[in-house]
Amino acid sequence: MTTSFEPGAPAPEDFVPLCVPRIQGNEWKYIKECLDSNFVSSVGPFVDRFERDVADYLRAKHAIATVSGTAALHIALLLAGVKPGDEVLISTLTFIAPVNAIRYVGAWPVFMDAEPDFWQMDPAKVEKFLLQECLWDGSELRNKATGRRIKAILPVHILGHPADMDPILEIAHRFNLRVVDDAAEAMGAEYKGRKAGHLGDISCLSFNGNKVITTGGGGMIVTDDDALAKRAKYLTTQAKDDPVEYIHKEIGYNYRLTNIQAAMGCAQLEVLDDYVSAKRKIAKSYRNGLEAVNGITLMSEADWAFSSYWLSTILVDESKCRLDSRALRKQLNQKRIQSRPLWQPNHLSPAHLGAQSYEIDVAERLYSRAVSLPSSVSLTENEQDFVVKAIRSASLD
């Protein structure tokens, strides 16, 4: 590679990754305890402890561990009573996992737009859709266009910033809809002092490798409802009604987290607040370093929000910059800086062709302009300077 590197920059063989885990606490110790005690599978003290610790952290009554965030979403939709042929409102601007989960239960997504300020599900458009495009008979809400029953709203807190939940919860409960929220990217974030991961009727978390904290792979279902929590455990453990005779009255799933993964989760949870502080500091440095650059703006934080800044993300306005978001990504790539665009909005996804979408324009604009920047907890000041300089020179050249 012949790219020139500036003084003080990471050596050319180095590469600045987008977001990698940091393992620096009690992970080794706790996992060794699993190996020494032979509790390696989905029964064991760390599973119980991780569930308790996460529930306590979120100030929730119950947390039920799962093999992945996607599995948590699948079960959460079953718990919410979403049936085949129902519809679930979801923001189009999200990683595809929660949309796929809606299809797993045989229901259909209806795609909603993002709001322009914090890029989350737009509550005003959700309300307008429910009031103007649906029929309420006093107990059920039907979509006029499709005739299907609307059963739930699924806000996704993208990039670590919470969605504006109060208006969403208010309108959902007015129409007897459940709110299942996806906090996979927002562990450690807060909405008006309440923890993300415990904002909706049922919330879901992910502990995949690139999330704020990780168990390698894993997820969690969070709820205050005793009956739902019991049912979550039942459905995730093969719906076993008689553990001796192996009698099952329903189709269940093998979705339980293992003790080894939970051990890692317990260790990671101990440092979560430090990790969130590190991510917020990274976002602040990007803001300071890039605010003078014409046409580049960093994702902002609502005054009612405490963002985990999972991935610091900028918008590149090609009408004010020398280049557009894709050209900027190419230049960063040449300097061995990993970045990424947002997800293709799901109403455009070939995997979800034919699903209804409602008044979407903000999400498409954000998708064309956004670039997520290196945001690992372990990102050094030196590396971050290098990224900032690379963006500055690319936008000014």
Ligand X SMILES: *Cc1c(COP(=O)(O)O)cnc(C)c1O
Binding positions for ligand X, rule: CB under 6 A = 68-70, 94-95, 97-98, 156, 182, 184-185, 206, 208, 219
- In angstroms, give the least distance from the CB of 230 to ligand X: 23
Strands 305-306 and 356-357: unpaired
- In angstroms, give the least distance from the CB of 44 to ligand X: 20
Q: Give which of 311, 281, 317 is closest to 297, Cα–Cα.
A: 317
Closer CB to ligand X, residue 121 or residue 290?
Answer: 121
Closer CB to ligand X, residue 34 or residue 180?
Answer: 180
Place of tokens 């409960």: 173
Closer CB to ligand X, residue 97 or residue 199?
Answer: 97
- In angstroms, give the least distance from the CB of 54 to ligand X: 14
Per the document, the length of the chain is: 397
- In angstroms, give the least distance from the CB of 116 to ligand X: 20
- At 375 the three-state DSSP class reads coil
Per the CB < 8 A criterion, the answer to whether 307 and 196 are in contact is no
Per the CB < 8 A criterion, the answer to whether 79 and 101 are in contact is no
CA distance 268 to 262: 10
- In angstroms, give the least distance from the CB of 340 to ligand X: 12
Closer CB to ligand X, residue 100 or residue 357?
Answer: 100
Q: Give which of 286, 290, 293, 285 is closest to 396, Cα–Cα.
A: 293
Closer CB to ligand X, residue 99 or residue 141?
Answer: 99
Report in angstroms the alpha-carbon separations of 160 from 53, 187, 197, 293, 350.
21, 7, 11, 24, 26
Residue 111 DSSP label: E
Closer CB to ligand X, residue 184 or residue 391?
Answer: 184
The residue with its CB nearest to ligand X is: 69
Closer CB to ligand X, residue 18 or residue 388?
Answer: 18
Residue 220 DSSP label: E
Q: Give which of 28, 42, 37 is closest to 266, Cα–Cα.
A: 28
- In angstroms, give the least distance from the CB of 96 to ligand X: 8
- In angstroms, give the least distance from the CB of 5 to ligand X: 32
Name the token pair of 214.
């990780």
Residue 303, amino acid: D
